[in-house]
Structure 1
Amino acid sequence: MAIAAVSFPVIVVAYLVAPPDHWARALVYGAAAVLVVVGTLLLARFAHSLRVDRRYADLLENEVAHQTRSLMDSLAATAEAERNLRLVMDAVPDAIIVVDREGRILEANAPAESMAAGEAPLQGRTVFEFFAPAAAPVVGERMAAAFGGEVQRFEVSFVQDDGTRGLRSVLYAPVRERGGGKIARVLVLARDVTDQKRTEAQLQQAEKLTAMGQLVSGVAHEINNPAAIISGFAQTLLLDDLKPEHRDMLQMVYDEATRIGRITSNLLAFARAGGKERTLVDLNDIVRRTFALRSYHLSTLNITVSLQLDRDDPKIWADASELQQVLLNLLINAEQALVTVEPPRTITVRTRAGEHEAVLEIADSGPGIPPEIRAKIFDPFFTTKAEGVGTGLGLSICYGIAHEHGGRIWLESEPGTGARFFVALPRDPRHDARAPLEPAAPAPPPTAATGALTVLVIDDETALRNALLRFLGRRGIQGHGAADGTEALGLLGQRDFDVIISDVRMPGMSGGEFLERLRRERPELTARVVFSTGDTFAPETATLIRESGVPTVTKPFDFAALERVVREVAAAAGPQRLKT
């Protein structure tokens, strides 16, 4: 049977794994087409690829999650660091500000924000707004120098919330970009040093007063001794029967020597602060002493002073030197106001004793004080005077002293009617024997001597010893002299005396050391000691007199009063048994 030839197209099916030349050979042999079938292997490879991509996707997702967590942690740490930095900056009491080249504020801490006093936020404002207009050129120059790379430190004035003037200490520090690049910002540190400067000024003034006290103490000792010598011989000569004209001249000599003593005593009372010790002081006496210091200067300015003092002698528990400083500052303030007006010029000082407080008033006939100035008259550094005239601290110091004593100070004034300052201080019910020693009141004219006494005079001034011994001799009192405590102890080893008058401050053994030797070696003689000194306001002298209880006479002596003290001490100690 014959087989008929059949013609039909052939399609060769091949797997992807077949080599490409096999596909070509099939076409040569007449295949109509080649169909490449992936089949199971193709699916497997596709599934494998999908699995590989899935793993890569998982790894990528994990890495993205890890990096996201790291970024979030870093952002949280950064935010925490910024919060901590802000807390630290806000905790600093100084104002911290970052500014650009135009002075615009980029960053500021809480103390700096408080300078805005509730106004708009600081960011975007300029630093020049927070200084007095007159300080703007200085602030600008310093800022330019800081942007030039220099650290700048300076002080400028500013206007406080109440309109008064204050002082700020300012630091400008340049802030460079990383790597020491250009300076785009400046860090500003500002501190209010108003109170600090006031305290420093008060301390400097206190130090000057202390130094003055030491100087005046030495000068007073050198002045009082010659004055005592002049006074002593004048008083001795006045015991003689003199012609009237001679008596008048001697009386003038004695009066002027006494005046010298008052002047040095007033200087000592002001200059010796006495360690801020509060005692029972007479306000009227403070007024008299302070006026005595300024009386001559006031007269040269054609200023008349009227003292209207309370007859009850108001006494208060206070530091006498500080009260004298208050009164002196107020007097000087009145003087400076009065020289701006034509005469007549008057200052009236009044004291008034109330049941619970004593009031001191200082009134002047000057131009008065305008209302806008009255509100800040007691502020530190406030002054209406020309540059170099005063520090602006006088009335501020008065305010501080008054309040330290539990009192108050205030002003009443209208332009054209003068000014009146009042200082009210509480009265203290205590009565203390530690009030400053006063020179003995002038005694009545000497009468006839009564009773023979023996006195030992210890003083390093030979002329003063001789003046005192001559006067006592004229009064029937036998005396011997010693130049210091050591010589006096030698004389006391040979004989006894009814009274021993010892200077407090001497070369070698001082009066205090001499008294201590007597307490150890001759205690029965301590009741016969009388101290003499030209400076009862020196702290060490005042302490010695107060603690020892020894009667004290001040130089230059009123010899009649001294004789009275000698006789009183001798009578109180009793008759002296003579050595054998």
Structure 2
Amino acid sequence: MNYISVLHFASLIVDILLLVYVLRKKPWQNLNRLCAMLIISMAIVSLSYGLVPMADNGAAAIALVNLATIGFSAVPMIALWFTLALAKKDSILNNKVITLISIVLPLFFIFIQWTNSASIVLEETYWGTIVIWPASPFLYAYIAYCILMFSLSGFLLLDLIVKAKASRQRKQAAILLITGTVSVVLSVIDSILMYQFGMKSVPQVPDILFLVLVIGIVTAISRYGLMTITPILASDEILSTMSDSLMLLNNEGMIVFANRSACSLLDLRGSNLTGRNFFTFVENDTQAHDLLDETSKSGALHRELNLVSAGGAITPVLVSTSAIRESIGEVAGFVISAADMRQHKLAQAKLEAHQQLINGILETMPSAVLVINQQMEVVLANRIFYQGLARIMEQVEGKPLIDVIPSDELLRQISASRQNPNVNTQFEFRYNVDGNGKILVASILSMPSQNVMLVLNDVTTEREKQDRLYLTDRLASIGEMAAGVAHEMNNPLTSVLGLSKLLIEQAIPGDTGEDLNTIYKESLRVSNIVKNLLTFARKRAPVRQPAQIHGVIDDVLKLRAYEHKVNNIFVTTNFTDNMPDVTIDYNQMQQVFVNIVLNAEYEMIQAHNGGSLTITTKNLDDRISISFKDDGPGISQQNLKRMFDPFFTTKEPGKGTGLGLSVCYGIVANHGGKIYVESNLGQGATFIVELPATVSASELALQMQISSYLKGKTSNSNTYIPFSTGIKER
């Protein structure tokens, strides 16, 4: 056995010892297993090359070379795997294609060698047989394969040196890079001397040169904890890699230790940061003193501070402090952890801006908006909702929807919408707000996480306008029909009046004559009603002229006399003497009084099947006043404000249009007067119409005095009492 074989066997023994050393650390860890595979591959080369010089013949030597090929082919690829694991980038091997290539490539070179496709030459030297691979595509392919794998491994180690947070990792990578590079370079020099310069006296010892890398591995394990974990190394790893800045202060506030993050935050190296006063890095040193003083008392504290780096950059941080105490209880130092709040502040600012944008959109929306969660509770409501539905935040947010808007139909529609989230549901429902009925259109929009956006639009005004158009059209049709009916009735009624008059003139005696008189009187009354109806329904341009208001009232009472009689309504008139004329459209003013009387009749009949209506006129100097007081149920203060609103009515559906008083208001206003109502619930109602007089009361009194003096008499006005109307004379 020559000394070259002894070196190979010595290398084999070192590989075996290193293998045992590595496997004892953590055999189940992936990095340890890969390191063991790398060592076994080189051990195979050492064993084979140690036996080749002692081979008895060429066939035995070639067999041993084929065995060494297993190690030569596997080492470059396993070295790359080991480096990937060390750099924590071995997840790339989860890709099946890459894994397959990394396995097939070494097997390819082994297959070529074992099938003798690559011709090798055996030569004898002074220390024994050596192996010569002649130049061939196989040799060049193998060299390219080795260069690629070792280059990738070197790049990964260099990247780890630059980017690793823990100093221990950087030193591990540096040692492996240096010793591995030395091993590869020496092996390349050995091959160049043999193949390029033909120096066959140079021994083939790549496995022995691998011992340089072995020394690096042992150093990395023993000094820097490669492939092993101890409490000290673990704490160093934690402190070095943690993202928060960590500093250890003595009881005077001097920094005795700072991790990598703290050095980066304060823009100083660790050696320059150690020994510096912590207070100098706080923007407000008073806050820093207070922080340590309060920590000494409470033991631990959390607070936001602004730290100032060596370059003057101000960084907001969330500081957590704790006191380190000696056995006797005195504070020996402080541990300060500082979390950089810059990204948090930016994210918080963006979140607040986003929230403000959402609130701005909700606040400017013309519709009321509610956001409902999966538990049917109100999460959010906008300003329009609070205003339109008379609610405050405490009554809405966080409350069940059924308490905010008591509507079973609304809950049913939202539940149905959740079953079909891609369909936007819209429906209409009624809701009372402070006693006022509102018509709302609800749009249900699905949101993430089973939330629902409810958009409410108040369409009460639009629906009222639609109803008004419908009622106006219907009233116009009824008016035209009534005028037509009255006109058609007038023709046969004229015949009845004429014939009954002729018969009366014949002086027929007895009951027949009395019956004829009754027929004539009743027909005449019907004729007057028809004439008034035609006058009331006929469309014509207003004609205003001076008139006595008492005459208008009397005509209205004649028109309603029969209804008053049969419904037990007693009318009392309190007419003021010497009333001045008023310039009015006679028919329009008659329409005003008819509407007021009709409303009084309805309310009194509904309340107690009859009642008392008192009509009073007054002379108010430059105007006159006509009041209609009934003893009906009265009007609530809430309804009193809306009595003259178009289409507002308290009557049952079908019995009132809500147009009468609004028309009266318009007619009186056009005459330069005013109409208003006074009432208390349960005490009847008084409608008052005031109209401008043609002459003032003082002027009228002067005229009357002159007339009396000239004529020698005074004139008194008597109240007209219609036939059997139940009107009391005053």
Q: Which has the higher contact order (CA 8 A, sep 6+)?
A: 1
The TM-score normalised by the length of structure 1 is 0.48
The higher radius of gyration belongs to 2
Structure whose residues are more often helix by fraction? 2
